[in-house]
Amino acid sequence: MLMLMLGFLLWPLPLPLPLPLPLPLRLRLRLRLRLLVLVLVLVLVILLWLVILLWLLPLPLLLRAGSAPLPGPHRSR
């Protein structure tokens, strides 16, 4: 799923669609708005996943490091 999202991000944003007829202005604006919304939603989802992963991954490491004595000269005597 992540590869699919990255594929969407790496897709060229100005889509070179081979349109035989020039679209009406309202339809072009609607398609551009829909594409912009899709890209924004994908970027927000990826950023949310990154925040969740960066927030959840260090928790076991912090819990394990908090319960273990500190290595080196900072150890309490």
Report if residue 57 sits inside a domain.
yes
Mean of the per-residue pLDDT values of the chain? 72
**CA distance linking residue 48 with residue 70, whole number of Å:** 33
Report if residue 37 sits inside a domain.
yes
Report if residue 17 sits inside a domain.
no
When comparing pLDDT for 43 and 54, which is higher? 43
Report if residue 19 sits inside a domain.
no
The structural domain count of the chain equals: 1
* pTM given for the model: 0.44
Residue 37 lies in domain: 28-61
Report if residue 75 sits inside a domain.
no
The pLDDT of 22-32, averaged and rounded, is 78
